[in-house]
Structure 1
């Protein structure tokens, strides 16, 4: 059995529907509105197809060396030294064709059913790319010092906009490989489909939870009235760093999830605090 090694994770258009009326615009804007929910019976999907939204578990490794670099399984993450306190180890949300996972992996999900598992091999040209000799460079140590590093062998460094691994100490210079650690390698994804999401409201909630992970379901609401989605978020979300970009992403994903939707309204609720006991006496 080959020895398992670990390393860091490999680094992985919203089309707006045409307007039905002149007054209807395909836009995502923040406003305050009262809506009612219109429910329809969804067509239950039993087989993954293009644009299907699914939850899946996976473990990703390199072929031959068996270097595990990503997983949704908590126990695997702990065993392989990949565990990080702020990461969530649970089935990943994937929409086939959206490239939330490697495109070469997503396309192999088509035809799978809930509970089905599959091993998918991704060639270098569809994964991390082939090795490029021009990305192996010699850099003077004095230049590295200006970037806050001394360049020890095996050290991962950032130089300009590139990240690389120091592969050799040559005295006054070091050799740095700026290729991806997985360049030229066949990547292996062991996947299992946990759920195919068919209900539209559940799809909308799923993309929201992906953008704002960890938010309790009872702390927000998503309602659909005809072609308008209203998202109500609690006031504590205002303190999330870069929340405005998260909201833009939520709106874009929701409009992309259903071509019939025309607008997303995001509302933040601020409730009057209850009076303290001291003030009430």
Structure 2
């Protein structure tokens, strides 16, 4: 089955830079070995809609040349990957602007952007605010696991793409009932994402309505049990232990 615009596909992949270093993968074991494991992430493959800019252009172009179950490798130039490395994104900033002295290689937040410290020079630090993959030729080893046809698989897959977990979704004809986990109510990401997720479900599937259902019970709303207070003796013992570990005499 060839891959076309609007298709929902499940893809597994590993992305590498020219030096072979891995920056992204759907394989949890690979992520652990290469120290990029996210304990809150979801592994095992991503569900992607072809033609809606959910992946870099070069990878999508290669996918559309193949069929389901294809497994291969593609190298992608910067202009079809993460863009060029821009010199204007490299800035020298005075050290007084940082809460703590930056060190070479450190990732820091500044004015809402994340930058990597390239060098520290006297009273200034040079930061690179380009994304780490900018300017690099990217190589993807990937497999098209499946082209999805089932409506529930499509919607559950989209929920995992947006929220890094498969949500509980019930399908009744052309209506999707999405059961929202209680903890999502405290997630700014969920508040920012749920409208776009519903829009994608409505636009790219036969759904006509998406219902978000929040369920509350007394049991669910019970606060976590408080930890027992420590006695003075226990606090003293822990303090002595901490001092010994930190090398405090």
Which TM-score band applies after superposition, normalised by the shorter structure? 0.7 to 0.9
**Do residues 200 (structure 1) and 146 (structure 2) align?**
no
SS of alignment partner, residue 89 of structure 1: coil
Residues 1:78 and 1:170: Cα distance change in structure 2 (over 3 Å): same
* Native 8 Å contact 2:85 2:135 kept in 1: yes
Q: Report the equivalent of 1:263.
A: 209
Structure with bigger RCO (C-alpha 8 Å, 6+ apart): 1
C-alpha separation in 1, matches of 2:61 and 2:173:
30
SS of alignment partner, residue 82 of structure 1: coil
Q: Report the equivalent of 1:59.
A: 14
Unaligned runs of 5+ in 1: 1-45, 274-281
Q: Report the equivalent of 1:105.
A: 59
Q: Report the equivalent of 2:239.
A: none
| TM alignment of 1:172-211, pairs within 5 A | 172-211=123-162
Q: Give per-residue Cα distances to partners, 1:230-256, cap 9 Å, x unaligned.
A: 315267466452444443233211112
SS of alignment partner, residue 3 of structure 2: coil
TM-score, scaled to structure 1: 0.68
**Do residues 135 (structure 1) and 99 (structure 2) align?**
no
Of 179, 191, 203 in structure 2, the residue corresponding to residue 233 of structure 1 is 179
SS of alignment partner, residue 51 of structure 2: coil
C-alpha separation in 2, matches of 1:114 and 1:134:
42
Residues 1:158 and 1:52: Cα distance change in structure 2 (over 3 Å): same
Residues 1:221 and 1:269: Cα distance change in structure 2 (over 3 Å): farther
C-alpha separation in 2, matches of 1:175 and 1:236:
43
Residues 1:262 and 1:152: Cα distance change in structure 2 (over 3 Å): same
**Do residues 222 (structure 1) and 176 (structure 2) align?**
no
Q: Report the equivalent of 1:36.
A: none
C-alpha separation in 1, matches of 2:33 and 2:144:
23
* Native 8 Å contact 2:167 2:178 kept in 1: no
Q: Tell me the CA shift for residue 195 of structure 1.
A: 0.9
Q: Report the equivalent of 1:79.
A: 33
SS of alignment partner, residue 48 of structure 1: coil
User: Number of paired residues?
Assistant: 218
CA RMSD of aligned residues (A): 2.5
Residues 1:196 and 1:164: Cα distance change in structure 2 (over 3 Å): same
* Native 8 Å contact 1:94 1:100 kept in 2: yes
Unaligned runs of 5+ in 2: 220-249
TM-score, scaled to structure 2: 0.76
C-alpha separation in 2, matches of 1:272 and 1:152:
49
C-alpha separation in 2, matches of 1:143 and 1:128:
29
Bigger helix fraction:
2
